[in-house]
């Protein structure tokens, strides 16, 4: 078993331990007399739902000590699916309890207990709204910044009220030590969420950056050049990303993740960003000299020049070229000689970011650049359409199965390219994939 799989299973065991911790506390020591099986099942579903919701803050909190070695795309997909399952547990808990003992429906009646009823309704509604706004943010008309604030507030509300409910019911948590242990376990998760939102910006304020230049790029994109102010900059591996905040303070809602496009070792940071929303659409008008804050680096979508003599394959769609610009610029700076292939898909050639630079890099490196255009000009003689198995068969070398392969692009491209490369014999451990959308 290689190191990547060991890290994965270590991460899974750590997550399961966190999710099961409230249940473990409830079942520790002396336990009350057993009730009907359905009722006990409902109680355990509640503890498991609380544990999974609390563990969500660890998964999404960008904790460097947690999930080391897993990519952001993997974490995001896991966070979404675990959140849906936790929501199902939150709903299944009362439904199972009511089915086992209909008299418990009185808990939802404000006339029988106003505070208890309001807290239970609040948990159910907040959890449902949390899931709905995450799945259908654009349908709700929520900007990323407003959704991020709402998401954090609802998550804290659900976990906080769920903890209060578990402590007040008093069946499994009657001993004072159990109340303390449960509060400490769930409270630690809440603390991590607050650390991400409050304490981390406090540390970032000591490492500001200044916007040195705003350069227009093809395809309605811009490149931001940032210079460190009073510090040595940021050490990162080619392909990693960072969270960028623009403004005089790091305590802002508009914190967004972008791939770093600079060569590793450069003091200046470059972010090439496509206009896809309110925040990114306004970057073209950003004035040089503006202050910025950078949190990172993050991600394991990295390629180290010189690591694999067989070479590497990069497949990019549109602005997905940005992490590969960092990799290729680093390769040029270090003078690597391993063979490289870049398959770069765009609507047309005018939208290809850094096209001239890629030509120059191909002259300096053993790099083959293959442009794929969806709407090519009449005199175009290169590849057209979409990146699929047939195109990869034509364009990539026969020894691709021994190479490290990297893919960054929209989800439909990833869904087409990943199985095609696996079918060519590329081991899953050598296939790295990142998708665009964060939420």
Helix axes 114-135, 144-169, angle to 10 degrees: 150
Residue among 432, 368, 383 at smallest CA distance from 403: 432
Q: Provide the pLDDT confidence category of residue 73 given band limits of 50, 70 and 90.
A: low
Q: What is the 3-state secondary structure (H, E, C) of 145-196?
A: HHHHHHHHHHHHHHHHHHHHHHHHHCCCCCCHHHHHHHHHHHHHHHHHHHHH
As a whole number of angstroms, the distance between CA 253 and CA 186 comes to 25
Q: Provide the pLDDT confidence category of residue 75 given band limits of 50, 70 and 90.
A: confident
In the predicted model, what is the mean pLDDT of residues 311-319? Answer: 94
Q: Omega of the bond prior to 297 within 30 degrees of 0, cis?
A: yes
As a whole number of angstroms, the distance between CA 202 and CA 195 comes to 10
User: Which pLDDT does position 4 carry in this prediction?
Assistant: 57
In the predicted model, what is the mean pLDDT of residues 112-131? Answer: 86
Residue 36 token pair? 């009907």
As a whole number of angstroms, the distance between CA 222 and CA 58 comes to 33
In the predicted model, what is the mean pLDDT of residues 174-199? Answer: 88
What percent of the chain lies above the pLDDT cut of 90? 52
Q: Which residue has the higher pLDDT, 437 or 209?
A: 209
Q: Which residue has the higher pLDDT, 425 or 119?
A: 425
Strand order of the sheet with strand 221-228? 256-259, 241-246, 291-298, 208-217, 221-228, 269-274
pLDDT tens per residue across span 196-207: 888 889 999 999
In the predicted model, what is the mean pLDDT of residues 385-392? Answer: 93
In the predicted model, what is the mean pLDDT of residues 378-391? Answer: 92
Does 225 have pLDDT greater than 60?
yes
Q: Provide the pLDDT confidence category of residue 3 given band limits of 50, 70 and 90.
A: low
Environment class of 353 (CB within 10 Å of its CB; exposed 0-12, middle 13-18, buried 19+): buried
As a whole number of angstroms, the distance between CA 182 and CA 167 comes to 8
As a whole number of angstroms, the distance between CA 208 and CA 250 comes to 9
In the predicted model, what is the mean pLDDT of residues 1-22? Answer: 76
In the predicted model, what is the mean pLDDT of residues 130-155? Answer: 86
Q: pTM for this structure?
A: 0.83
pLDDT tens per residue across span 230-281: 999 999 999 999 999 999 999 887 888 899 999 999 999 999 999 887 788 8
Instruction: Classify 120 as helix, strand or coil.
Output: helix
User: Which pLDDT does position 363 carry in this prediction?
Assistant: 93
Residue among 336, 343, 327, 403 at smallest CA distance from 365: 336
Indicate the average pLDDT of the chain.
Answer: 88
In the predicted model, what is the mean pLDDT of residues 168-196? Answer: 88
pLDDT tens per residue across span 321-331: 999 999 999 99
* Strand (E) or helix (H) holding 356: helix 355-364
Does 390 have pLDDT greater than 70?
yes
Handedness of CA 186, 189, 195, 196 (dihedral sign): negative
Q: Provide the pLDDT confidence category of residue 1 given band limits of 50, 70 and 90.
A: very low
What percent of the chain lies above the pLDDT cut of 70? 95
User: Which pLDDT does position 74 carry in this prediction?
Assistant: 72
User: Which pLDDT does position 439 carry in this prediction?
Assistant: 44
Does 420 have pLDDT greater than 50?
yes
As a whole number of angstroms, the distance between CA 301 and CA 408 comes to 9
Q: Provide the pLDDT confidence category of residue 438 given band limits of 50, 70 and 90.
A: very low
In the predicted model, what is the mean pLDDT of residues 372-391? Answer: 93
In the predicted model, what is the mean pLDDT of residues 97-122? Answer: 87
CA angle 309, 365, 222 (to 5 degrees): 115
Does 9 have pLDDT greater than 80?
no
Which residue matches tokens 């199965």? 401
């Amino acid at each position: 078993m290689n190191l990547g799989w060991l890290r994965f299973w270590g991460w899974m065991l750590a997550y399961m331990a966190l999710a099961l911790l409230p249940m473990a506390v409830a079942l520790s020591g002396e336990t009350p007399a057993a009730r009907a099986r359905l009722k006990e099942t409902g109680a355990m579903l509640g503890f498991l739902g609380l544990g999974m919701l609390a563990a969500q803050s660890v998964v999404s909190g960008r904790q460097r000590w947690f999930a080391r070695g897993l990519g952001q795309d993997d974490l995001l997909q896991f966070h979404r699916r675990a959140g849906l399952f936790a929501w199902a547990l939150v709903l299944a808990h009362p439904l199972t309890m009511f089915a086992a003992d209909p008299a418990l429906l009185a808990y939802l009646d404000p006339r029988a207990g106003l505070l208890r009823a309001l807290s239970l309704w609040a948990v159910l509604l907040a959890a449902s709204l949390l899931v709905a706004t995450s799945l259908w943010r654009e349908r709700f008309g929520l900007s990323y910044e407003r959704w991020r604030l709402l998401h954090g507030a609802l998550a804290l509300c659900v976990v906080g009220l769920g903890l209060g409910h578990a402590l007040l019911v008093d069946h499994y948590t009657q001993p004072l030590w159990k109340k303390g242990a449960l509060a400490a376990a769930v409270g630690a998760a809440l603390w991590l969420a607050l650390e991400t939102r409050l304490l981390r910006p406090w540390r970032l304020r000591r490492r500001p950056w200044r916007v040195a230049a705003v350069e227009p790029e093809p395809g309605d994109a811009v490149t931001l050049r940032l210079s460190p102010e009073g510090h040595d900059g940021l050490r990162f591996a080619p392909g990693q990303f960072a969270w960028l905040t623009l403004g005089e303070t790091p305590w802002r809602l508009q914190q967004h993740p972008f791939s770093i496009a600079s060569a590793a070792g450069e003091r200046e940071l470059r972010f090439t960003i496509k206009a896809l929303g309110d925040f990114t659409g306004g970057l073209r008008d950003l004035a040089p000299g503006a202050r910025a804050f950078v949190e990172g680096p993050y991600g394991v979508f990295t390629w180290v020049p010189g690591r694999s003599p067989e070479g590497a394959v990069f497949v990019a769609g549109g602005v997905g070229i940005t992490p590969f610009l960092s990799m290729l610029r680093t390769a040029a700076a270090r003078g690597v000689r391993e063979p490289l292939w870049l398959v770069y898909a765009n609507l047309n050639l005018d939208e290809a970011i850094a096209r001239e630079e890629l030509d120059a890099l191909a002259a300096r490196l053993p790099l083959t650049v293959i442009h794929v255009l969806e709407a090519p000009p009449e005199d175009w003689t290169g590849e057209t359409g979409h990146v699929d198995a047939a195109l990869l068969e034509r364009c990539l070398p026969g020894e691709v199965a021994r190479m490290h392969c990297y893919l960054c692009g929209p989800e439909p491209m990833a869904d087409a390219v990943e199985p095609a490369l696996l079918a060519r014999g590329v081991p899953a451990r050598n296939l790295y994939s990142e998708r665009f959308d964060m939420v």
